[in-house]
Chain A
Amino acid sequence: MQKTSDIGELQAIARRVRRHIVTMIGAAKSGHPGGSLSAVETLVTLYFDVMRHDPANPKWPERDRFILSKGHAAPVIYAVFAEAGYTPADSLNTLRSLGSIYQGHPDRRFIPAFEASTGSLGVGLSLGLGMAEAARLDKSPARVFVMLGDGEIQEGQIWEAAMYGGFHKVDNIVAIVDYNKIQLDGFVKDIMEVAPLADKWRSFGWNVIELDGHDIAALQQAFADAAAMKGKPTVLIANTIKGKGVSFMENNPKFHGVAPTKDEVEKALQEIGA
């Protein structure tokens, strides 16, 4: 795997990741396209530029850790793993089928590169804190990144974790809220408003960075700022568009958890481009 800081190259990887997402969910006939597409730039920036990791040695003790706490966005990390060389790209379309390593939600029994099996919302940030504490104890340079959904932070355990991270000054962890404003039943503001997000996290003692979660340069800067911040954990509030890159999926609650039809896959691939 070749790491790069070049924005053009990262955007090209992001396009390939989007194509994988749409194609595999179309093939599986079920899955979560909206929240996978909204998280693409964050994961591509992390895995191809920011994170210290090695696909040839997924258990390297000093690796940085990533936890997809919003586990239903599994297709985006499957696509990133395949592009990075952790897992085979040619079987991505076995998503959600019996015997596939590409299970419905991340399952570390099948893919050792996963730090955690996720899918039940609300638990990933606490798990990341444990990994961050272990790294601090070992004086390891390892850093921990945890992606949360905006709907997911309605779970109470997220705020137990937020309180712990701020109080114990766990500055080697970065939470990213994929703030795409839509959850399964509709718009977050109509189901259970989570705003004002920045104020909430700041009041729990976190360094808050708000940014456009599709702007790779902004993500690079934010991760650098997070690494430089000492004495506080950092949260990125990544303003994103659910279904980003496919016009008929964008901001459409229907595509939280519904697969595109064959025709829709074709149309989506045309829009994304090569």
Chain B
Amino acid sequence: MSVKEKFELKLGAATREAFGKALVELGKADSNVVVCDADLSKSTFTHLFAKEFPERFFSCGIAEANMVSIGAGLASSGKIAFVASFSAFVLNKGFEQLRVNVAYSQIPLKVVGTHSGISIGEDGPSQMSVEDLSLACSLAGFTVISPADEVATFELVKLAAYHDGPIFLRAGRVKVPAIYAPGQKFELGKAITLIEGKDITLISTGLMVAECIRAAAILEDEGVSAGVIDIHTIKPIDREAIANAAKNTGCIVVAEEHFTSCGLGVRVAQVVCETNPCVMEFHGMGDYYAESGTPEEVLVHYKMTGKDVAVTARKALARK
């Protein structure tokens, strides 16, 4: 079956909406689940939980640092506590609190950042988050999750809730193509190989996974067998999946909606260097900030499409 036949990539819900729905399901099943938000509940979709369980929803006002510490206090008292805001705010304004009250204190708080990457669009760079994976991965003991679609988000939020440790989960604003069928099983730390390839492996996370599938379809038409791996858990990273990809295809492109200097790519490269060194290229945001525009315009302008990933793949293949 061709890549195009295997993946329809019909537009599904935004990952932030799937997160909000998962919270409601968790809240119904477990009265121990609590949620904090910092005046963005209508954007993060925690308003769904707030409406169902007002007594378990803590509105913290526009004070993310306070919210993170309050969440840590709730979690340290035995609650399954989620705190949510835009990634750009909860990580940057709450970083000190995440480091001291959560990571260092070994508190199993669940942190969800929505509106990640540049695909937030119109609001522009102050709200865009292109360094969140780097920040989250630098918190010792954190598990860092970046789901690719609605189904993945729904399942991974539920896994995150009952994971015995702190979590950062990266969600996005815009509707994204559906990759997984309902019922797909996920395991934290276990990457999913969507397409087996022989010539090159495209490794990605979040909304760029769908773009890598599109790139694989383009490359397939050119006679190139490109594999695609979804790294939904950035940390701990699936070393085995990466090492095998490096060994079997000898050529890797990592694509991400994040600074390439400090995101998924460098973490993949670390594993490749330690296992089966091979040709690598890194596709994502360089050392600059994006600008306003519709999400589609911004993604095209900053080369976050399957066509662009295919260009980078050809560059990598030429070096092989």
Contact status B76-A161, CB under 8 Å: no
A to B contact number (C-beta, < 8 Å): 91
What is the CB-to-nearest-CB distance from B315 to chain A, in angstroms, rounded to a whole number? 45
Find the B residue at minimum CB distance from A126. B69
Interface size class of B (residues with CB under 8 A): 20 to 34
Contact status A130-B69, CB under 8 Å: yes
Bound: A120/B104 CA distance, A: 11
Within 8 Å by CB of A123, from B58, B69, B79, lies B69
Asked if A137 is an interface residue, CB under 8 A from chain B, the answer is yes
CB neighbours of A61 from chain B (8 A): 78
Bound: A80/B76 CA distance, A: 23
CB neighbours of A133 from chain B (8 A): 58, 70, 73-74
Asked if A163 is an interface residue, CB under 8 A from chain B, the answer is yes
Contact status B73-A127, CB under 8 Å: yes
User: Which A residues between 110 and 126 are near B, CB-CB below 8 angstroms?
Assistant: 115-120, 123, 126
Find the A residue at minimum CB distance from B60. A164
Contact status A130-B73, CB under 8 Å: yes
Bound: A120/B94 CA distance, A: 13
Given A61-B78, A130-B76, A161:B66 Cβ within 8 A: yes
Contact status A127-B101, CB under 8 Å: yes
Asked if A129 is an interface residue, CB under 8 A from chain B, the answer is yes
Contact with A along B86-98 (1 / 0, CB 8 A): 0000000000110
Q: Which of B74, B78, B100 has the most CB of A within 10 A?
A: B100
Contact with A along B33-59 (1 / 0, CB 8 A): 010000000000000000000011010
Q: Which of B56, B73, B77, B104 has the most CB of A within 10 A?
A: B73
Find the A residue at minimum CB distance from B105. A117
Contact status B69-A134, CB under 8 Å: no
Find the A residue at minimum CB distance from B56. A137
CB neighbours of B70 from chain A (8 A): 126-127, 129-130, 133, 164
Within 8 Å by CB of A160, from B55, B66, B73, B77, lies B66
Contact status A128-B73, CB under 8 Å: yes
CB neighbours of A126 from chain B (8 A): 65-66, 68-70, 73, 97
What is the CB-to-nearest-CB distance from A120 to chain B, in angstroms, rounded to a whole number? 5
Contact status B66-A164, CB under 8 Å: yes
Bound: A167/B235 CA distance, A: 38
CB neighbours of B60 from chain A (8 A): 164
Asked if B13 is an interface residue, CB under 8 A from chain A, the answer is no
CB neighbours of A137 from chain B (8 A): 34, 55-56, 79
- CB pairs A–B below 8 angstroms (27 shown): A61-B78, A108-B105, A117-B100, A123-B65, A126-B68, A127-B72, A127-B76, A127-B101, A128-B73, A129-B69, A130-B71, A130-B73, A130-B81, A134-B34, A134-B74, A134-B79, A137-B56, A157-B65, A157-B69, A157-B97, A163-B63, A164-B60, A164-B61, A164-B63, A164-B66, A164-B70, A167-B61
User: Which B positions have Cβ atoms within 8 angstroms of A?
Assistant: 34, 55-56, 58, 60-61, 63, 65-66, 68-79, 81, 96-97, 99-101, 104-106
User: What are the 4 A-B residue pairs with the smallest beta carbon separation, nearest first?
Assistant: A130-B73, A126-B69, A134-B77, A160-B66
